[in-house]
Amino acid sequence: MADALSHLATSAFGRETVRKFRKSPLYPVTLKLAPRKQQDLLRLLPPLSEELSLETVSPANASTSLFLGCLSQLTDQPVFAAFSSIAQRLGVLVSVPRSQGCCGAIHGHTGHQAKADKCRQRNIQAFDGANRVISFASGCGAYLQTYLGERVMDACTLLEQATSPLDLRLKTFDGLIAVHTPCSLRNAMKSESPVFRLLGKIPGAACVPLSAGYGCCGGAGMHLMDPDGASQQLLEPILDQIAQLRPKIVLTSNTGCHLHMRRGLEKRGIDIPIRHPVELIAGLLPLP
């Protein structure tokens, strides 16, 4: 079943199939009747928001392009919309190359090198000419950097570099913010600090890093598809820390980590939202 979910995530037809299944009356019935391990995998399917239209903006002038990925197009539509609203407020022109595709990480990490190479060539062509390629999932960003180089930048890094507190005039946030740093963001992209500096521009923000255990949630790559393996053992200390802190919101910058932690919190009956840092920033923008 893990292989099937992987295939569904990395193809346009598969993503549309997931959308229809997740919205159908069959989903809750299947979730209830499936064996426990299959239930855990099905819980990875996120609640789906309406797909947003992200037309190419000023392609002749924009030197910054957005990488949307494959699984992220199922899970991260609100993140894309949030970033677009911030970029528009800052006057940053962005484009969304239509010919882009999966970064290739899932294929590469599972030994399907020919498929990974096909993804690589497709994205090299799609982002030819872009000075900056913005990723919203650090696992994708880290893999993109292996063939697109330093042009690849995490979304929070761009916003942190492009803004001052006066640029955004963010509203005050009352409550504790628990910040999870994905291993791919910290160890591969070396972009942990910009996230905390960006969040530091929020008036009243109180940020606490989720560092229990090894600080790794276990959701990297295909590991989150094995709910009984090491991924769950790595996740438990993180969930314990969240349960103890009871933050108002949990932030993470990687899609797999988000899905893995959300499933863990749901199984424990803990109702705390998990969001991308960009979503929190956009939600605190004043009315234009």
- Residues 150, 192 within the same domain: no
- Residues 170, 156 within the same domain: no
- Residues 133, 169 within the same domain: no
Is residue 53 one of the residues assigned to a domain?
A: no
Phi-psi region of 218 (alpha: psi -120 to 50; beta: other; left: phi over 0): left
pLDDT given at position 247: 98
- Residues 173, 267 within the same domain: yes
Residue after which a domain boundary falls, among 128, 143, 161: 161
d(CA 268, CA 169): 37
Residue after which a domain boundary falls, among 121, 146, 161: 161
pLDDT at residue 202 greater than cutoff 90? yes
pLDDT at residue 94 greater than cutoff 70? yes
d(CA 94, CA 51): 19
Could you tell me the pLDDT band of residue 58, with boundaries at 50, 70 and 90?
Answer: very low
Q: What is the mean pLDDT of residues 71-97?
A: 88
Assign residue 243 the CATH number of its domain: 3.40.50
Residue that wins the pLDDT comparison between 11 and 281: 281
Q: What pTM was computed for the model? A: 0.87
pLDDT digits (tens, 9 = 90+) for 239-268: 999 999 999 999 999 999 998 999 899 889
pLDDT given at position 113: 92
Domain count, the chain: 3
Range of the domain at 14: 2-42
pLDDT digits (tens, 9 = 90+) for 113-144: 999 999 999 999 999 989 999 999 999 999 99
Is residue 82 one of the residues assigned to a domain?
A: yes
Is residue 141 one of the residues assigned to a domain?
A: yes
